[in-house]
Chain A
Amino acid sequence: MKLGGAYNFKFDAARTRFEFLSEGPKGRIIKLVELTFTGSHVGTGEVYNLALGDRNATGQLDDQPVTANGDAQRVLLTVAAIVETFTEQHPDAVVFATGGTPARTRLYQMGIANNLAEVQRKFEVYGLVGTHWQAFQPGVSYAGFLVRRKPGL
């Protein structure tokens, strides 16, 4: 995947907690990405929830931030790079992601759709329509996404 515009990031030993700095007109904002086991499995693969939030100046976490720092594309690219790093360490893992709001979910969807060929070279992507999962297709409105690394990649 072409991730050249993404921010550099830091991760913990388990590669399940990630941190990076968003830079824009509102200054430097610490973004945290957390991948947490949901308790679900696909075969031997554990399903992890991807959550993105901010850490404010007082150290408190905000899981519904409206950062509007003018760098949504870079943040998206960074999240994609984080998923790639996470699945390198956890190759059987499935990542579930949804935006906190329909607008954010659309943003994730556009991010996947705009890089679909690149994404599908390494990952299988499913989208949630109503109560059914289907292989990701551009132009369909999804409520959430499941991503899994293709075997051997």
Chain B
Amino acid sequence: MPAFSFVVNPDCKMKKQPATPNRPLGTLDERLNQYTGKVLFPEKLARAKKLLAEVGLPAAWVEEAAATAKAGASASSKAKPAAKPVSGLPKKAA
């Protein structure tokens, strides 16, 4: 007797899965490149800039960004030893 047996039911038909896209189709349209460098809704942008200047950004994100920058700076300073002071250059005549 084989270790593995597989029985096929000839009456069983495979159901075709209907196409159910879970997200819409986004496609590149070169025509929209005409807006590059232009602001389509300047009033809305001005309002957003004003509001963000007034209230800033979430403190948690700002702190996280500062910590990341600090960690990056210390890592790079460890990787690259500080340049030695240059010596032996001729002194400028007074």
Contact = CB atoms under 8 A, between A and B. Distances in A.
Contacts of A78: 24
B46 to A, nearest CB: 9
Interface of A: 1-4, 6-14, 17-19, 32, 34, 36, 38-45, 47, 49, 51, 53, 61, 63, 77-78, 81-82, 84-85, 94, 96, 98, 100, 126, 128, 131-134, 144, 146, 148
Interface residues of B, number: 41
A80 to B, nearest CB: 10
Given A43-B68, A133-B55, A63 B24 contact: no
Interface of B: 20-33, 35-36, 39-41, 43-45, 47-49, 51-59, 61-62, 64-66, 68-69
Contact of B52 (A7, A10, A40, A43): A40
Contact of A8 (B22, B27, B61, B65): B27
B51 A39 contact: no
B36 A12 contact: yes
Interface of B is mostly: helix
Contact of B23 (A12, A19, A81): A81
Nearest to A81: B24
A86 to B, nearest CB: 10
A118 to B, nearest CB: 11
B35 to A, nearest CB: 5
Contacts of B54: 131
A39 B56 CA distance: 12
A118 B55 CA distance: 28
Contacts of B47: 98
B57 A42 contact: yes
A33 to B, nearest CB: 9
